[in-house]
Amino acid sequence: KSKEAEIKRINKELANIRSKFKGDKALDGYSKKKYVCKLLFIFLLGHDIDFGHMEAVNLLSSNKYTEKQIGYLFISVLVNSNSELIRLINNAIKNDLASRNPTFMCLALHCIANVGSREMGEAFAADIPRILVAGDSMDSVKQSAALCLLRLYKASPDLVPMGEWTARVVHLLNDQHMGVVTAAVSLITCLCKKNPDDFKTCISLAVSRLSRIVSSASTDLQDYTYYFVPAPWLSVKLLRLLQSYPPPEDAAVKGRLVECLETVLNKAQEPPKSKKVQHSNAKNAILFETISLIIHYDSEPNLLVRACNQLGQFLQHRETNLRYLALESMCTLASSEFSHEAVKTHIDTVINALKTERDVSVRQRAADLLYAMCDRSNAKQIVSEMLRYLETADYAIREEIVLKVAILAEKYAVDYSWYVDTILNLIRIAGDYVSEEVWYRVLQIVTNRDDVQGYAAKTVFEALQAPACHENMVKVGGYILGEFGNLIAGDPRSSPPVQFSLLHSKFHLCSVATRALLLSTYIKFINLFPETKATIQGVLRAGSQLRNADVELQQRAVEYLTLSSVASTDVLATVLEEMPPFPERESSILAKLKRKKGPGAASALDDGRRDPSSNDINGGVEPTPSTVSTPSPSADLLGLRAAPPPAAPPASAGAGNLLVDVFDGPAAQPSLGPTPEEAFLSELEPPAPESPMALLADPVPAAEPGADWHPGHPAPLPLPPRFVCKNNGVLFENQLLQIGVKSEFRQNLGRMYLFYGNKTSVQFQNFSPTVVHPGDLQTHILSGLGQPPTKRVAAQVDGGAQVQQVLNIECLRDFLTPPLLSVRFRYGGAPQALTLKLPVTINKFFQPTEMAAQDFFQRWKQLSLPQQEAQKIFKANHPMDAEVTKAKLLGFGSALLDNVDPNPENFVGAGIIQTKALQVGCLLRLEPNAQAQMYRLTLRTSKEPVSRHLCELLAQQF
């Protein structure tokens, strides 16, 4: 009874069967069948079966029907393309297909249809059409052949040859046998998608078939009548087939079809012939398919309106299934210009459904329909109903409703104060479900429309007075007051100090990102309201800001404090100028909703997070002082990064430079210099075709390595020495994240696969790995994310999941330090950042060169200038094993030359380092001294820094 007992019992049985199969005594067909059947039973109980396939295949060639049948069943259920077996199986199938015994032929066809693998397609795709249209094939064989071919076509369309048989397949629509027609329609529906013209004749045949069924009395079709409905499955399939084509061109055919459709609509009004649910389901299945066809044609206003009325009746039907389907079907009707108004008349019923349906999937359909039927005339009603629903909506669909409300409010806004109210209500009711896109959008709209700015400032100010308000409200409020707080400052109830203390009262409850945004608001206040300067400077100067553990907050506090004290009012006014209008473009909320609906919603890239240099303008995690100046309008507020950004206006670039000047002055912050420049350059430069993220050219020559490093990045971790001689392995690992690497190099090119594994059970957010070339490394080596862009890493990494990134690398000239990999993400709300050296060292571009002893010594002598040689004598860190040493030298990349050095203990190697600009010939010699546990390593190359660098790299290895 218990789980263990079951497993024990099964293992015993499996052992028994195994011994029977392995035994010396040959089993007779009957026992073989018995045991194969038992295995199948055990498999279906959910246990793994790894033997018995051979015995099952043997059964296929039995001439006893039941043995064959069980053999086929086992194969259909259990076979995965085990190539050797497939050949044997195919043989048996071939025999059965050729047997002319219809029962055996059907078994074989069923098996092909059930397995449907490519191997089977290769073996049989050419034969089956022949069987299908052969004059002497039995009806049942034709049926199986049609659907078997369909399955093979779906699996591998290239294997099914089109030919003269296709015309004859179409004529199966006229077949006497309803079962043959039923099977053939499915095949034709699928085939005609690819070759509509070849199958065009099916339209008139399908219409006449349909018309005969629809007009037949309920008893005419005998066993094909189902609960008084004539041939419901065939009717639905015929209607589906017709949806593959536009309305028939032939007027007679069209007339006949419209007649059919009307008949179906009329029948829906007739009293039911049976109380059974099967009767009404079959009848309504045809009705819904008819409506689908009417919507597909979208050309018969009369039929569209009738369809809508019919669905309207279903909206109040007592069957939940019908209400669900009616809501769903009406959604598509709402988008037709002919029926949109008719759909709108049902608004009250739909709103009622949203409020009273007990099944969440039905409520979801109602919300979808409200969204679809919304236009300027009813937007206010629908939005307010959806807002009300949001308060009690299921958590699973809240985010979608929020997006929908946000879109409708924007799309149908008559006055923008209503829009602002709506979005603020959204935040109030369901703040947790309001995504960045939504509140970014409201900021964008407020910034672009000066008629609503004063109202927005007043409204957020009031909203912020609520004792508990959502953090998203603080963000929106902080941003809007920072921009437009002056518009309400005249009222003593919302004077500058009041505004400031209201915002600051929320400060301590907020996350780092929000606090960073508020700091920007404060510096903007200093410009807007000089009277608040002293207070705000006091806040910035407080130890909790200046020495904040969070580097972002600390940096903002330091910079803003310095900016406010050293800059003149003019400079301040320029830097902290009001944001310029954003360019108009499609709302990214819409894109988000589309993505949510798509199948790949979970893994869809969040565009806004793709490019770390441009997304954080409002989120405020990126240490770009340009946040407070005027970010170029191309700054990617909404994250639509697809279009190349328009050139930033000179004014803002100027502001960036200005800022640098300010900070280069008394406050001397060496790390600040390049950042704004970099940010702007990244905006200005269209992505290079080779490497879309191709790394920012760094305009400022680095005084020392790392000096130009972003202050927000941690110092890079050293490269584990083993990666000098190895291309694959685990590059980094801590409790959260594992980074694996796999790379290959050829000549001066390389490709690297990085694997990021989330070791936790929590999703990483804003996951963004980027490659950085500090200093002028970029002129030496280029590495960029590979094309196509789909290879980019998703912005979210689910718990336990692994994502992959491809890096293309090109070595332009010799280089000394590897490019860096910077990884940032949020884990449980806390930002994480780490920087690693990529395992790309100059020796990766080694091409081994074989040469004879004579050549070697000749070249060795040629490289005799003192600066061409680098030598190191060092102690062995690892046991001195000749084989290991050999492997390491080969991994390092050079060729190992035997019989060159007179001392057989020594190692001699040669190779050429391939870069785009030049080739560097390298010779090396390693002399182990086992007694002293020391090595002497000598490198000679045609380029001095290369000799030294290779010598250092290689010396770490032993």
Partner 1 sequence: MQFMLLFSRQGKLRLQKWYVPLSDKEKKKITRELVQTVLARKPKMCSFLEWRDLKIVYKRYASLYFCCAIEDQDNELITLEIIHRYVELLDKYFGSVCELDIIFNFEKAYFILDEFLLGGEVQETSKKNVLKAIEQADLLQEKTETMYHSKSFIGYKKAY
Q: Among 304, 220, 293, 230, which Cα is nearest to 257's? A: 293
Q: Is 289 in the site for partner 1 (CB under 8 A)?
A: yes
Q: Is 226 in the site for partner 1 (CB under 8 A)?
A: yes
- Of residues 133 through 152, those in contact with partner 1 by CB under 8 A are 140, 143-144, 147-148, 150-151
**Residue 35 marked ligand-binding:** yes
- Of residues 780 through 819, those in contact with partner 1 by CB under 8 A are none
The residue range among 227-235, 339-347, 578-586, 741-749 that interacts with partner 1, by the rule CB under 8 A, is: 227-235
Residue with Cβ nearer partner 1 (80 or 931): 80
Collapsed DSSP state (helix, strand, coil) of residue 197 = coil
Residue 920's CB is within 10 A of a number of other CB atoms, namely: 21
What is the distance between the alpha carbons of residues 124 and 494, in angstroms, rounded to a whole number? 81
The residue range among 249-257, 277-285, 340-348, 575-583 that interacts with partner 1, by the rule CB under 8 A, is: 277-285
Please name every residue paired with 847 in a beta bridge, in sequence order, or none if there are none: 912
**Residue 34 marked ligand-binding:** yes
Residue from 32, 306, 323, 949 that binds partner 1 (CB under 8 A)? 323
Residue with Cβ nearer partner 1 (127 or 578): 127
Q: Is 826 in the site for partner 1 (CB under 8 A)?
A: no
Residue pointed to by tokens 């089993």: 27
How far from 412 is each of 330, 375, 377, 424, CA to CA, in Å?
A: 21, 7, 9, 17
Beta carbon of residue 346, minimum distance to partner 1 (angstroms, whole number): 19
Q: Is 64 in the site for partner 1 (CB under 8 A)?
A: yes
Beta carbon of residue 223, minimum distance to partner 1 (angstroms, whole number): 4
- Of residues 149 through 188, those in contact with partner 1 by CB under 8 A are 150-151, 154-155, 178-179, 182-183, 186
Residue with Cβ nearer partner 1 (294 or 457): 294
Residue with Cβ nearer partner 1 (223 or 586): 223
The residue range among 5-13, 652-660, 790-798, 909-917 that interacts with partner 1, by the rule CB under 8 A, is: 5-13
Residue with Cβ nearer partner 1 (315 or 648): 315
Task: Give me the long-range contacts of 383-388 (CB less than 8 A, separation at least 24).
Answer: 383/408, 383/409, 383/412, 383/422, 385/351, 385/354, 386/354, 387/422, 387/425, 387/426, 387/429
Q: Is 228 in the site for partner 1 (CB under 8 A)?
A: no
The residue range among 6-14, 653-661, 715-723, 794-802 that interacts with partner 1, by the rule CB under 8 A, is: 6-14
Alpha-helical (H) ranges within 431-550 are 436-448, 450-464, 471-484, 496-507, 512-528, 533-541, 543-546
CB neighbour class for 208 (10 Å; exposed up to 12, middle 13-18, buried from 19): middle
Q: Is 113 in the site for partner 1 (CB under 8 A)?
A: yes
The residue range among 29-37, 129-137, 674-682, 833-841 that interacts with partner 1, by the rule CB under 8 A, is: 29-37
The residue range among 70-78, 499-507, 566-574, 578-586 that interacts with partner 1, by the rule CB under 8 A, is: 70-78
Residue from 20, 94, 200, 240 that binds partner 1 (CB under 8 A)? 240
Q: What is the Cα 497 distance to its own chain's centre?
A: 47
- Of residues 362 through 381, those in contact with partner 1 by CB under 8 A are 362, 364
**Residue 37 marked ligand-binding:** yes
Residue from 91, 114, 495, 765 that binds partner 1 (CB under 8 A)? 114
Collapsed DSSP state (helix, strand, coil) of residue 667 = coil
Q: Is 275 in the site for partner 1 (CB under 8 A)?
A: no
Beta carbon of residue 20, minimum distance to partner 1 (angstroms, whole number): 12
Beta carbon of residue 460, minimum distance to partner 1 (angstroms, whole number): 37
Give me the half-sphere count of Cα atoms (radius 13 Å) on the Cβ side of residue 931.
Answer: 0
Beta carbon of residue 286, minimum distance to partner 1 (angstroms, whole number): 8
Beta carbon of residue 477, minimum distance to partner 1 (angstroms, whole number): 37
Three-class secondary structure assignment of 786-846: CCCHHHCCCCCECCCCEEEEEEEEEECCCCCCCCEEEEEEEECCEEEEEEEECCCCHHHHE
**Residue 142 marked ligand-binding:** no
Q: Is 528 in the site for partner 1 (CB under 8 A)?
A: no
**Residue 25 marked ligand-binding:** no
Q: Is 892 in the site for partner 1 (CB under 8 A)?
A: no
Q: Are 366 and 352 in contact (CB under 8 A)?
A: no
The secondary structure element, H or E, covering residue 287 is: helix 277-297
Q: Looking at this protein, which amino acid is placed at residue 312?
A: G
Beta carbon of residue 830, minimum distance to partner 1 (angstroms, whole number): 31
What is the distance between the alpha carbons of residues 710 and 718, in angstroms, rounded to a whole number? 17
Beta carbon of residue 70, minimum distance to partner 1 (angstroms, whole number): 6
Beta carbon of residue 233, minimum distance to partner 1 (angstroms, whole number): 5
Collapsed DSSP state (helix, strand, coil) of residue 479 = helix
Beta carbon of residue 434, minimum distance to partner 1 (angstroms, whole number): 24
Bridge pairing between strands 749-758 and 802-811:
antiparallel
Collapsed DSSP state (helix, strand, coil) of residue 921 = strand
Bridge pairing between strands 934-941 and 919-929:
antiparallel
The residue range among 219-227, 459-467, 560-568, 858-866 that interacts with partner 1, by the rule CB under 8 A, is: 219-227
Residue from 27, 77, 604, 851 that binds partner 1 (CB under 8 A)? 77
Neighbouring residues of 53: CB distance < 8 A, sequence distance ≥ 6:
74, 78, 79, 82, 85
Residue with Cβ nearer partner 1 (286 or 442): 286
Beta carbon of residue 278, minimum distance to partner 1 (angstroms, whole number): 6
Sign, CA torsion 562/568/573/574 = negative
* Token pair recorded at residue 848: 């081994």
- Of residues 743 through 782, those in contact with partner 1 by CB under 8 A are none
Q: Is 325 in the site for partner 1 (CB under 8 A)?
A: yes
Q: Are 188 and 217 in contact (CB under 8 A)?
A: no
Residue from 7, 11, 28, 44 that binds partner 1 (CB under 8 A)? 44
Collapsed DSSP state (helix, strand, coil) of residue 164 = coil
Residue-by-residue DSSP string for 672-730:
TTHHHHHHHHHHHSPPPSS-TTPPPP--SPPSSTTTTS-TTSPPPBPPPGGGGT-S-EE
Sign, CA torsion 269/270/276/282 = negative
Beta carbon of residue 706, minimum distance to partner 1 (angstroms, whole number): 46
Residue from 281, 417, 747, 779 that binds partner 1 (CB under 8 A)? 281
* Token pair recorded at residue 915: 């870069």
CB neighbour class for 391 (10 Å; exposed up to 12, middle 13-18, buried from 19): exposed
Residue from 11, 15, 41, 246 that binds partner 1 (CB under 8 A)? 41
Number of residues that bind partner 1 (CB under 8 A): 74
**Residue 827 marked ligand-binding:** no
What is the distance between the alpha carbons of residues 759 and 757, in angstroms, rounded to a whole number? 6
Residue from 82, 95, 313, 361 that binds partner 1 (CB under 8 A)? 361
The residue range among 281-289, 414-422, 752-760, 828-836 that interacts with partner 1, by the rule CB under 8 A, is: 281-289
The residue range among 237-245, 532-540, 615-623, 891-899 that interacts with partner 1, by the rule CB under 8 A, is: 237-245
Q: Are 146 and 184 in contact (CB under 8 A)?
A: yes
For the chain, helix, strand, coil in percent to 5 are 55, 10, 30
Residue from 75, 202, 236, 889 that binds partner 1 (CB under 8 A)? 236
Residue pointed to by tokens 């491809």: 806
Q: Among 470, 471, 474, which Cα is nearest to 482's? A: 474
Residue with Cβ nearer partner 1 (277 or 700): 277
Binding mask 566-605 for partner 1 (x = CB under 8 A): --------------------------------xx------
**Residue 916 marked ligand-binding:** no
Q: Is 358 in the site for partner 1 (CB under 8 A)?
A: yes
Q: Is 110 in the site for partner 1 (CB under 8 A)?
A: yes
Which residue ranges make up the annotated binding site?
20, 30, 34-38
